[in-house]
Amino acid sequence: FLLKELDTLRAKNKKLQDKLAEKDKELKTMKLDLELQDRATEAKIAEKIAALVEEVYSAQRERDEAVMARLRLANEERDEAFLRVQRLEESLKELENINPEENDMTLQELLNRINNADTGVDILKNGAIILNRIHRTKERKKKIIAEEMNAVIEQRDAALSQ
């Protein structure tokens, strides 16, 4: 009887060991599946991160290109302004080199000089003198008018206050 019971317990033990081995295999399979899923998830995350990094780099390149374009434009504008300043300085030097006797000339004398000029440079020089004189006259008139207006305003204010 004990041998029979021992055989029965051995058979049950064998069945339990088989079940344990089967469950162990299932557990290992589940662990491998979970590990594969984790790796797949990590791969997807890495792919998304790579796409995001590429997008950031692309945006950075576009921004850098825009900044460089703005810098080039600013440099061009600076160079143009510098050239304009140089031209104005040259014109000013030409006007400063005008003879003092030319300042005493009347407008009619300057016009006669333009009519009698032999070269284009003489015409430009005398024309610049006339333009300069006109500009200075306009500026003087503006100053005089402004001073007169201030005086009139002051008189009005004084009259109002009295």
- Pair 127, 103 in one domain: yes
**Among 85, 94, 95, which Cα is nearest to 133's?**
95
**Among 94, 96, 87, which Cα is nearest to 122's?**
94
Higher pLDDT, 124 or 33: 33
- Pair 14, 81 in one domain: yes
pLDDT band with cut points at 50, 70 and 90 for residue 60: very high
- Mark which of 97, 114, 134 sits at the end of a domain: 97
pLDDT band with cut points at 50, 70 and 90 for residue 129: confident
- Pair 72, 15 in one domain: yes
Q: How many domains does the chain have?
A: 2
- Pair 29, 79 in one domain: yes
| Total residues belonging to the chain | 162
Q: Express as a percent the part of the chain with pLDDT over 70.
A: 91
Q: Collapse the DSSP code of 155 into the 3-class scheme (helix H, G, I; strand E, B; otherwise coil) and give the result.
A: helix
Sequence-distant (6+) residues with CB within 8 A of 94 are 125, 128
pLDDT band with cut points at 50, 70 and 90 for residue 49: very high
CB 103 within 8 A of CB 130: no
- Pair 14, 78 in one domain: yes
| Interatomic CA distance for residues 130 and 107, integer angstroms | 7
The answer to whether the predicted template modeling score (pTM) of the entire model surpasses 0.75 is no
> Would you state the pLDDT for residue 75?
93
pLDDT band with cut points at 50, 70 and 90 for residue 97: low
- Pair 45, 124 in one domain: no
The boundaries of the domain holding residue 59 are 1-97
- Pair 48, 119 in one domain: no
- Pair 103, 85 in one domain: no
- Mark which of 61, 78, 97 sits at the end of a domain: 97
